[in-house]
Amino acid sequence: MKRIMLRCIIVGYGFLGKRLAKLIASGAVRGVKLVGIASSKGYIYKEDGFLPSDLPDDLRSSSMLRPAPASELIDKRIADLLVELTPTNIRDGEPGLSHIKLALEQGMDVVTANKGPIALAYEELMGLAEERGAMLLHEATVGGGIPLISLKNRCLAADELLSIKGILNGTTNYILSRMHFEEMTLDLALREAQMLGIAERDPTLDLEGVDTALKLVILANSLMNMGKRLSDVKIKGITGITSEAIAAAKESGMTIKLIGIADEDGLRVAPKLVRLNDPICVHGTLNAVSFNFRILGRLTIIGEGAGESTVSALINDIHEVMKTRMRSNRI
């Protein structure tokens, strides 16, 4: 019997791309072969698939490098699956949006961790995927490795999701946790987070609540069919939170967390008082999301919301594509 093989290309060769490439090249997902890798510097391609020893730390050091845009690699039609991992762009979703569109138009399946295209053009992209008979999976866009999207869509598809409430940003949660437990000022906690690599050099999107809002839009649209845009979210960040406010909350057996909420009243992100015994009251870089279902009621899931754990979501989405295509005998 002919062995089935899913040919995969990765566009975006940063933290996630390098770790994912190594896993696929090592055979982490049986039947998946990594044949191409692209970055902003160009791309490399190997028809018979990359082994771990073939993977450069920097594509510029590879003798196989072709200094051409990633779109050229996608347009070669030598792969069945695109994994899109370029940086999030909240203005227009590029270049990830164009990469995903190009792949879907060719009938390629797509797995992504890029929040921009999914938050800005969810309905368009899902419509294109359906039209071309392709899969578009994006578990890794929200909550790192926490299976929020697949939990609802695969395990609880028959139950109606009424609301979503949770902590969706590890950077702000770390800062607020340090302010609560160590009585740090926001500025000091932020500097510590930056030194530890938890916060970006420019943490504006995190601190002002925009990153949380992006993730909330993705969850609201993919799990509740709300058809929302980032502009529909009422957003307030944590920059105005003082040590005094944290201390006052603490005296009442509460703390302050940056909370995203999606329900019948719309989408909003803002600092909220949360009781210390509330299931979503997690600390450090943890994320926590509470779903409220019509039949099941409240279900809270907690986990690491970024970094290495995100690779788990990517691998599982790739596995889902492979499993689905084997059933359909498409590859």
Residues classed as catalytic: 215
Q: Please count the CA atoms within 13 angstroms of the CA of 168 that sit on its side-chain side.
A: 30
What letter would DSSP give residue 37? Answer: E
Name the phi and psi angles at 291, rounded to 5.
-95, 140
Instruction: Report in angstroms the alpha-carbon separations of 320 from 102, 245, 258, 308.
Output: 21, 45, 32, 20
For residues 249 and 246, give the distance between their C-alpha atoms in angstroms, rounded to a whole number: 5
For residues 329 and 79, give the distance between their C-alpha atoms in angstroms, rounded to a whole number: 16
Alpha helices in the chain (DSSP H): 15-25, 70-75, 96-105, 115-132, 148-150, 170-182, 186-195, 204-207, 210-224, 243-251, 309-328
Name the phi and psi angles at 319, rounded to 5.
-60, -40
Task: Give the residue from 118, 126, 210 showing the smallest Cα distance to 168.
Answer: 210
What letter would DSSP give residue 66? Answer: B
Secondary structure class of 180 (helix, strand, coil):
helix
Alpha helices in 225-268 (DSSP H): 243-251
User: In this structure, are residues 80 and 109 in contact, taking their beta carbons and an 8 Å threshold?
Assistant: yes
